[in-house]
Structure 1
Amino acid sequence: MTDDCAVKVYKALGESTRLQIVKMLVKRRELACLEMAGLLKITAASTLTHHLKPLLDCGVIAVRKEGTFRYYRVQRHVLEHYAPYLLGE
């Protein structure tokens, strides 16, 4: 994996809300947007999207669409490479 990829991953994880999202996904396997917003106490969908996009772009999380719902999950192989300590919590 390239240095560019590492920069994107660490930049995405360097923001506290995004780090919280990743930690939640490690513990819960998969979460829908509404569940995630409720746990984070985020009321605006645009705010949640703002945090999810960098995590998706660098490959830390992935999304699965089912009807009108989107379910997010962590990409364990990416965390194993760049931030294995997150998987041990």
Structure 2
Amino acid sequence: MTARPDNDQPQVAATASCCVPPRLQRLPASEAGHRARQLKALGHPVRLQILHLLAQAGDALCVCDIEAYFELKQPTISHHLRWLKEAGFLAAEVRGTYTYYRLQPEALSGLTGWLQQLTM
């Protein structure tokens, strides 16, 4: 197996039986990792339901208020909230002993814009 050059792009040899590939650019690795984390965070029904609740609330919700909508224990809800926060979809604010979560609309619109680019 031969090593790839520093740019990590596969080398395609053009032959008489092969088309010359168009000049395309791969998604930078850092952005690909970021988008993959976002999509993975959205890949669970509970996390989608949490986003839906927060979108309806229009304001921050306490983790205990979010938990009331599920038949899950607080540690499980916190696990899903952490996924969404690490993906950039939520912001958290500690008020006393409670943590309140709210949507980060710019993260959702950034992902939406990127997905729309894929259809062009």
Decide: shared fold, TM above 0.5. Answer: yes
Identity %: 29
Which residue of 1 is the match for residue 61 of structure 2? Answer: 31
- Kindly indicate which of the two structures has a greater share of residues assigned to helix: 1
5+ unaligned residues in a row in structure 1: which ranges? Answer: 85-89
| Structure holding more strand per residue | 1
Match of 1:14 in 2: 43
Deviations 1:39-80 (A, max 9, x none): 1232x2111111111111111111011111111001000001
Q: Superposed, which structure 2 residues align to 1:63-82 within 5 Å?
A: 63-82=92-111
Higher RCO (C-alpha 8 Å, min separation 6): 1
Structure of larger gyration radius: 2
**How far is the alpha carbon of 1:15 from its aligned partner?**
0.4
The match for 1:57 is 86
Question: For structure 2, which runs of at least 5 residues remain unmatched after alignment?
Answer: 1-29, 114-120
Q: What is the RMSD computed on CA atoms of the aligned residues? A: 1.5
Aligned length: 83
TM-score normalised over the length of structure 1: 0.85
Q: Normalising by the residue count of structure 2, what TM-score does the alignment of the two structures yield?
A: 0.64
Instruction: List, as ranges, runs of 4+ consecutive aligned residues in structure 1 with deviation greater than 3 Å.
Output: none
Measure the CA separation in 2 of the matches of 1:39 and 1:83.
Answer: 27
Q: CA deviation at 1:3?
A: 1.4
Q: State the distance in 1 between where 2:94 and 2:112 align.
A: 26
